[in-house]
A = this chain, B = another copy of it.
């Protein structure tokens, strides 16, 4: 036995180092990108550009964290992009209607929450596949938003609100502070609360979770509610950044969010995921675009390179994992 114990001790040791290493690896790849770019173009490391970069990655990062909760339960939320666009309209209308900003934000977040609960309902009570119910809301929400605005754009008449996105605090852009504001509780929630554990349990084997007394349906409601809530929050941030409400905004952001999550090491088959992963994933994508712009890469090449880099990065990540 003792031999096994010794061995096992080493094993778990290794595994712990590993998961640490993996996080590091992705971070490493991000840092690598930065170093390369810093050498390639003088402007990259300028404070101005770094804060641009942080601003540009923030919104997808937050979406990706929300998406991760859903993906851990082996689900998927295609609606987040549409929710972002839709909520920019909601908050624009509220603010222009003279509702106090804090209240407008609160209501907008509640709208997001409602959408998420509807997804939960569709999945648990109506038995719809997550892909379908969220695809349906994706389609419908854009329609509703366009209907409300009659396809036009609502300019937000409140400069304090629209100024927020450009503000800095301690030299760090306000938008990035919002990422921190979301990520820290998200991390605690996922890794240090029972509901976090339940997300994994449901994603791994709902039947076993259920027979262990986990309220599986409640967990699913929770996951989708959080995803939509985060999306609504991003909607608020986007509204401050572009100063308008427009239902067609954030098109395709769901794919970027899912990509960030998967790049960050989550499995679409559930039960695997973290909070730091999607954050790093999102900023890897943001860095690629930012760098390409600074290097004045032709925007067509930019797409090609993005695709290629996604493959390379995830491939290296795979290698690490096999290394287990």
Residues of A at under 8 Å CB distance from B?
78, 122, 126-129, 131-133, 135-144, 146-147, 151, 255, 258-259, 262-263, 267-268, 298-308, 310-311, 314-315, 318, 322
A132 near B267 with CB under 8 A, answer: no
* Chain B contacts for A127, CB-based, 8 A: 315, 318, 322
Return the chain B residue nearest A137 by Cβ: B307
Partner of A258, one of B126, B131, B138: B131
Cβ A262 vs Cβ B311 within 8 A? no
Chain B residue with the shortest CB-CB distance to A322: B127
Assembly CA distance A308 to B310 (angstroms):
35
Tell me the nearest residue of chain B to A302, going by C-beta: B143
Other A-B pairs, 8, CB within 8 Å; known A126-B318, A127-B318: A129-B268, A132-B310, A133-B311, A135-B259, A135-B307, A138-B307, A143-B306, A151-B300
* Cross-interface CB contact of A298 among B135, B147, B258, cutoff 8 Å: B147
Q: Are A142 and B303 in contact (CB under 8 A)?
A: yes
Main secondary structure of the interface of A (DSSP, over half): helix
CB of A143 within 8 A of CB of B304, answer yes
The complex places the Cα of A142 from the Cα of B303 at a distance, in Å, of: 7
In the complex, what residues of B have CB within 8 A of residue A129's CB? Answer: 262, 267-268, 314
A300 touches B146 (CB 8 A): yes
| Cβ B311 vs Cβ A136 within 8 A | yes
Q: Closest CB of chain B to A60's CB: distance in Å?
A: 14
Residues of B within 8 A of A302 (CB): 143
Q: Which residue of B lies closest to A304 (CB)?
A: B143
B residues less than 8 Å from A258 (CB atoms) = 131
Complex Cα distance, B146 from A300, in Å, reads: 6
In the assembly, what is the distance between CA of A226 and CA of B137, in Å? Answer: 30
| Sample (16) of A-B pairs whose CB atoms are under 8 Å apart | A122-B311, A128-B315, A131-B259, A131-B262, A131-B268, A132-B263, A132-B311, A135-B259, A135-B310, A136-B310, A140-B306, A143-B300, A143-B303, A144-B304, A147-B298, A147-B300
Between A151, A262, A300, the greatest number of chain B beta carbons within 10 A of the residue's beta carbon is seen for A300
Q: Knowing A143-B303, A143-B304, A303-B143 touch, does A262 contact B132 (C-beta < 8 A)?
A: yes
Closest Cβ of chain B to A261, distance in Å, is 10
Residues of B within 8 A of A141 (CB): 307
B contact residues around A307 at 8 Å (CB): 135-141, 143
Question: Roughly how many angstroms separate A137 CA and B314 CA in the complex, as a whole number?
Answer: 14
* A126 CB contact (under 8 Å) in B131, B263, B315: B315
Find out whether the CB atom of A132 lies under 8 angstroms from the CB atom of B304. Answer: no
Please give, as numbers and ranges, the residues of chain B lying within 8 Å of A308 by CB-CB distance.
Answer: 136, 140
In the complex, residue of chain B having the shortest beta-carbon distance to the beta carbon of A255: B135
Find the B residue at minimum CB distance from A307: B140
Q: How far is the CA of A299 from the CA of B142 in the complex (A)?
A: 11
Q: Is the CB of A306 within 8 A of B139?
A: yes
